[in-house]
Amino acid sequence: MTSNNTPLLEIKNVSKFFGSVIALQDVSAFVRAGEVTCLLGDNGAGKSTLIKVLSGVHKASEGEYLFDGVQQDFSSPREALEMGIATVYQDLAMIPLMSIWRNFFLGSEPTKGWGPFKRFDASFAKETTTEEMAKMGIDIRDPDQTVGTLSGGERQSVAIARAVYLGAKVLILDEPTAALGVRQAGVVLKYILQAKSRGIGVIFITHNPQHAYPVGDHFVILRRGGIYGDYAKEDLPLEQLVQMMAGGADLEVLKHELEQASEQGGKDAAAYAATADQIKSELHEIGMPDDEGDA
């Protein structure tokens, strides 16, 4: 899976401070063309701040930002976008009341005609939208339907297809699967692979190791604003990723305590058991081995 060795986008020892708050401390990461780098971290790990630094919303307080090996100093997302660094935000991807083709070209409308008769080339826009979506493996029913009628996964997919079509070299995806069901998330993961196979460097931000592992080439785990781990896929089995992601040791303790509590019986037993079951099923969901079988 490795292509040429120069990273397309790289940050080196980046820190970001908000007053006395250290949001990021000494974070380094990179993505190569045609690879997927996953940034994983629980809530509060510093993912959002890192995305904003990467997409040009925030300037890093310290550290380097390299694009194609050249030092960059973006002062707006617009500048990053012009270099080909496109960010797709989880909830800001699309405008629900507008049709798919209008959304697809919003801000980059193709025009035809001359002078005062210059107009938005609607037929080209509709055709291209349908074609580009087909290339991503999405068969849209009708480019005229509003984005509001699409499912969450489809919206993310349209946003990804748009970024790819508009010439993104690096695609930053902010929790694209977070609000989605299993199947919908699968659809989005498929488009991440599509983008990758088209030679785009993808930075995939998520808190879900189950989503990251199948598509990622490289994993950077954030904890409390710093780097907790940085691995190539070969060096990292899924179980280890899950453990690190969740702060495995802490969870083991919690799991153990809850089980003990439920075994103690007493009048609170039912309540404890219910809680324990819930936690266990959650652990199971994020891939923690469940040593008791069915609870």
Partner 1 sequence: MTSNIGSQPDAATSEPAPPGSAPPADERVRKTSGLSRLLSRPEFGAMVGAGLVWLFFAIVAYDNNFVSWATTASILNRAAPLGILAVAVALLMIGGEFDLSIGSILGFAGMTIMVLITPSSAGGFGWGVWPAILAALFVALLIGFFNGSLVIATKLPSFIITLATLFIFRGLTIALTRQFTNRTQLGDFDEASGAALADKLFATQFTVFGSSFRVSILWWIAMAALATWILVRTKPGNWIFGSGGDAASARNVGVPVSRVKIGLFMTTAFAAFLVATIQAVQFNGSDTLRGFGLEFQAIIAVVVGGTLLTGGYGSAIGASFGALIFAMVQQGIIITGVDGDWFQVFVGGVLVIAVIFNNYVRQQAAKR
Residue 68: partners with Cβ closer than 8 Å, 6 or more residues away:
6, 8, 9
DSSP 16-33: EEETTEEEEEEEEEEE-T
**Residue 293, Cβ density class (10 Å: 0-12 exposed, 13-18 middle, ≥19 buried):** exposed
Region binding partner 1 by CB under 8 A among candidate stretches 26-34, 76-84, 264-272, 284-292: 76-84
- Write down the least CB distance from residue 229 to partner 1, Å: 28
With CB under 8 A as the contact rule, the residue among 40, 45, 189, 202 that binds partner 1 is 189
Q: Which residues pair with 9 in a beta bridge?
A: 31, 67
75 binds partner 1 (CB under 8 A): no
With CB under 8 A as the contact rule, the residue among 69, 148, 181, 199 that binds partner 1 is 148
Read off φ and ψ for residue 57, nearest 5 degrees.
-70, -45
Distance CA 230, CA 247 (A): 15
Distance CA 29, CA 236 (A): 17
Q: Site mask, partner 1, residues 105-134, x = CB under 8 A?
A: xxxxx-x------xxx-x-----------x
User: Is 154 or 217 the residue whose CB approaches partner 1 more closely?
Assistant: 154
Region binding partner 1 by CB under 8 A among candidate stretches 29-37, 42-50, 142-150, 219-227: 142-150
Q: How many residues bind partner 1 (CB under 8 A)?
A: 38
Residues that bind partner 1 in the complex, under the rule CB under 8 A: 77-78, 81, 87, 89, 92-98, 102, 105-109, 111, 118-120, 122, 134, 137-139, 141, 146, 148-149, 162, 183, 186-187, 189-190, 194
